[in-house]
Amino acid sequence: MPASNKPAEVSGTPPQGRTGTGQPRLRLRKLTDKSAGVLFWVNSLLSAVILLGILAFLLYYGVRTFRETPVVGFLFGTKWNPDAYGEPSYGIIPLLVGSFLTTLIALLIAVPAGIAGAIVISERLKGWVRVTVKTMVELFAGFPSVVLGFFGLVVLAPLIARVFHVPSGLNLLNAGVLLGLMSLPTIISVTDDALRVVPHSYREAAYALGATPWTTAFRIVLPAARSGILAAVMLGFGRAVGETMVVLMVAGNAAIIPHSLFDPIRTITSTIAIELGESAFGSTHFYALFALGFVLFLIALGTNLVAESLIRREKRSFTL
Amino acid sequence: MKKLLTITVLAAMVTTLAAREVMVKGSDTLLNLVQNLAEAFGTASPDITVSVAGGGSGVGINAIMSGETDVANASRPIKSKEISTARSNGINPVEYAIAIDGVCVIVNAANPVEKLTVSQFGQLYQGKLANWSAVGGPNKKVSLYGRQPNSGTFVYVRDEAVKGEYAPAMRQMNGNAQIVEGVKADEGALGYVGVGYAREPGIKVLSLSKDGASFYSPLDKEAVDAGTYPLARPLFQYTNGKARGDAKAFIEFELGEAGQKIVEEEGFYPLTQGYKDKNAANLQ
């Protein structure tokens, strides 16, 4: 992300010391120094420009939706049926609810499990065991979602149907559980990093007062790392809300507001994936999908910004 | 992701290097059938490669409208609005029927219901009848399985039989095979698939009636050919203008004896004379 490049420091501090400007070597060094600075500037500018470009592109196409359908109907309508028998309707509420509820279930599963896992990895495991476990967790973060979706389709769906005596396991619960599994590695990894940043003197002080390692972990280290943990949760949220393939495969994809865990749901992402291919270029349906993309972008951008600022706050308070 | 992109780019480069290729895209109902046809065609004329992709009839028709594919597969006829959009892009879709399908209404094998009228079927899918007891079955909630809006079968069944909006609670499945899997696992299920997907254990194909007096099964070739089965339909391919060159060779193969034999092997029905005559006119 742009914030990690610090161009000002590179270009703003020319090499001090001996000022033998006549020496060609030094001039060359100054030149490379300057060009490196420019390169960093261009790089960080580029990512910002691309980000703004995507935003502008989504907005440019998205607003055209509202030439044929009112904004209020789009934001507050409870029916999404662009390819209708009769009049098409473009209400995003069922899709927002679908995205929100799957993400909520995912976080209800992944946050407690993720924090517990991170405590074990950070506070209890040592040496090569810790490294191995952490690496495996991070590897799982790159697990292909289509494989997980297939697992949900052939294993989890029949299991849910049998255990809860419901007609079909392709529902909100299935999608939520799988998304929880998907965001677990992110949460574990970032929480672990946050716990490691807590200074060792905190732990030593707790031990000196007679606290057990577990008490220290829960009462001292965890509260000290809370903003980093919040950032981990935010990143997990972003992972879950943006995931497409898994929910497309197991959520049942009915655009309704569910009444129970066992109703099918449809998310914003799967709607775009299902419908973009068949919507004719230039139709209201086509533009409405870009408007949906814009809404999703705002949600993801918002969570990332919050997470970023929390992580920065965490670093500032401990690395002094 | 990056790797995937590289592979895609490489694959695209390789396929553009192989000079003679026909791209076919669209209907999931036609996907297996056309893939088998393409394979057989490849054995007969090894210097032409036919690549077949799914995505749904809507995706195929969209691709032909924007000139992104040579041939579009569609399990529904192209809409007049789509034709006018295509014309404004300088594209003139020409239609070929390549097989006959009877859309099969399927239930779980444990469901005692054997037949439905078209109006009962429509009311079930609109959510107006929500219990199997309303149509002579057990006291069990109906759970609806359908396709996604990019599917030609979704549009065809809605326009021809449901004649209204699908109940919002209908599960929208990604392809015929997923509907079959869903119905197999769910005793209250009601679903619809192309006849090429319906001969499976664990599911049962219902007979349908337009008038409530005489019921016909889509597995009965005569009823489908004569059109007495209410959901009998042709499956189409579209080209931009009359098919030429390699695309023409492929379509002629599909419509020929060898092609129609594969159509039957895949569980669909071969073309009747009326469609053959229309195709011949469009191939001239």
Pairing of strands B104-108, B189-193: antiparallel
Q: Distance (Å, rounded) from C-alpha A102 to C-alpha A112?
A: 16
Q: Which of B3, B61, B174 to mutate to test the interface with A (most CBs of A within 10 A)?
A: B174
With respect to residue B6, please indicate whether it lies within any of the assigned structural domains: no
Per-residue confidence (pLDDT) for residue A7, from 0 to 100? 46
Q: In this structure, is residue B13 part of a structural domain?
A: no
Judgement on whether residues A40 and A87 belong to the same structural domain of the protein: no
Q: What is the per-residue pLDDT for A307? A: 76
pLDDT tens digit sequence for B233-258: 999 999 999 998 999 999 999 999 99
Whether residue B149 is found in the same domain as residue B207:
yes
Burial level of B26, CB count in 10 A (0-12/13-18/19+)? buried
Nearest to B182 among A94, A170, A256 (CB): A170
Contacts of A168 in chain B (CB under 8 A): 143, 171, 182, 185-186, 189
Same domain, B144 and B159: yes
Q: Is the separation of the CB atoms in B144 and B169 below 8 Å?
A: yes
Contact across the interface for A254 and B65, Cβ inside 8 Å: no
Question: What average pLDDT does chain A have?
Answer: 87
What's at A315, amino acid-wise? K
Does some domain include residue B5? no
**DSSP states of chain A:** -GGG--HHHHHH----S---TT-HHHHHHHHHHHHHHHHHHHHHHHHHHHHHHHHHHHHHHHGGGGGTS-HHHHHH-S-EESS-SSS-EE--HHHHHHHHHHHHHHHHHHHHHHHHHHHIIIII--HHHHHHHHHHHHHHHT--HHHHHHHIIIIIHHHHHHHHT-S-S-SHHHHHHHHHHHHHHHHHHHHHHHHHHS-HHHHHHHHHTT--HHHIIIIIIHHHTHHHHHHHHHHHHHHHHH--HHHHHHSB---S--SSTTS-B--HHHHHHHHTTTSPTTSHHHHHHHHHHHHHHHHHHHHHHHHHHHHHHHHHHH--
Tell whether B95 and B142 lie within a shared domain: no
ipTM of the complex: 0.73
Confidence (pLDDT) at A3: 45
Residue B135 per-residue DSSP state: G
Give the largest Cα separation in chain B, rounded.
61
What SS3 class is residue B172? strand
The answer on A300 and A156 residing in a single domain is: yes
Q: What are phi and psi of B97, to 5 degrees?
A: -85, 130
Radius of gyration of chain B (CA): 20
Interval A273-319: pLDDT, tens? 988 877 877 888 999 999 999 999 988 888 888 878 877 776 666 55
Residues A80 and A62 reside in one and the same domain: no
Token couple for B131: 């219990």
What does pLDDT average to over chain B? 90
The reported pTM is 0.79
Predicted local distance difference test score (pLDDT) of residue A6: 45
Is B256 within a domain?
Answer: yes
Q: Are B239 and B92 in contact (CB under 8 A)?
A: no
Residue A39: give the domain boundaries. Answer: 2-67
For residue A296, the domain's CATH number is 1.10.3720.10
Flag residues of chain B having pLDDT under 70. Answer: 1-19
- Residue A93 pLDDT exceeds 60: yes
Give the CATH number of the domain where residue B81 resides. 3.40.190.10
Percent of chain A, pLDDT > 70? 91
- Do A106 and A239 reside in the same domain of the chain? yes
Residues in chain A with CB shorter than 8 Å from the CB of B85 are 280
Q: Is residue B59 part of a domain?
A: yes
Strands B203-205, B232-240: parallel, antiparallel or unpaired by DSSP?
A: unpaired
What is the per-residue pLDDT for A21? Answer: 54
> Has residue A17 got a pLDDT over 60?
no
In B144-203, the residues whose Cβ lies within 8 Å of chain A are 148-150, 155, 158-159, 162-165, 168-174, 178, 181-182, 185-189
Do A83 and A24 share a domain, yes or no? no
Number of domains in chain B: 2
Q: Are both A61 and A86 inside the same structural domain?
A: no
* Counted domains in chain A: 2
Look up the domain containing B180 and give its range.
104-226
pLDDT digits (tens, 9 = 90+) for A28-38: 888 888 999 99
Q: Please count the CA atoms within 13 angstroms of the CA of B144 that sit on its side-chain side.
A: 25
Give the DSSP H/E element, type plus range, for residue B116.
Answer: strand B115-117
Domain contains B10: no
Query: Is the domain of B79 the same as that of B146?
Result: no
Is it the case that residue A14 has pLDDT exceeding 90?
Answer: no
Determine, yes or no, domain membership for B3: no
